[in-house]
Amino acid sequence: MRIIAGTLKNSTLYLPKNKNTRPLKDMVRESIFNFLMHSNKIPFQLEKSIVLDLFAGTGSFGLECISRKAEKVYFVENDKYAIQFLKKNIDKLQVQKKTKILNKNVFDILKKKNVFESKLNLIFCDPPFKKSNIEKIVESIFINDLLKKNGIIILHRNKITKEKLPNYLKIIDERTYGISKIIFAQILV
């Protein structure tokens, strides 16, 4: 696994050997960033953005954001083993000043507005495929008003999963890659 583009391009990342962490494949990550940077469906600028990487695992998504000039990435991860690798990757890439690891349950973090220095431009949500509480996550983001206007939520799910997403979540695009489904959305205000 490597950083695909930007200032840290081709840097390799440490990966855990256990099956608890499911790293986002390079091809899927590259497709997500191609859509974010080049689609005329969304006016999005990654440079100087504030990013939240939920269920961060080894941090590949958030670290890719930093490589592409995001200002700050908050990594939320509850698994101690995955956090060891996340810390090693942050140290290896020397991006400590642009990152913050929140070793807590996602719902505990989303309930607190004051955890983040400002509203977020991008939230990447990659829960384990077996988790079915994606609606609660979106609801917490909405209720706590965590996204800036025109902010983007990206959901990574198993392609066979059927989410019941709230009406205030506007699906911009949905793409399938192997067993993965990527949903790009915005919260309607």
* Sheet strands side by side (includes 99-102): 99-102, 72-76, 50-54, 120-125, 147-158, 180-187, 169-177
pLDDT tens, residue by residue, 125-176: 988 777 768 889 999 999 888 999 889 999 999 888 888 888 899 999 999 9
Instruction: Return the number of other C-beta atoms located less than 10 Å from residue 87's C-beta.
Output: 19
Whole-angstrom Cα Rg for the chain: 15
pTM, 2 dp: 0.93
Instruction: Please give the domain boundaries of the chain with CATH numbers for all domains.
Output: 26-187 (3.40.50.150)
Using pLDDT thresholds of 50, 70 and 90, give the confidence band for residue 1: confident
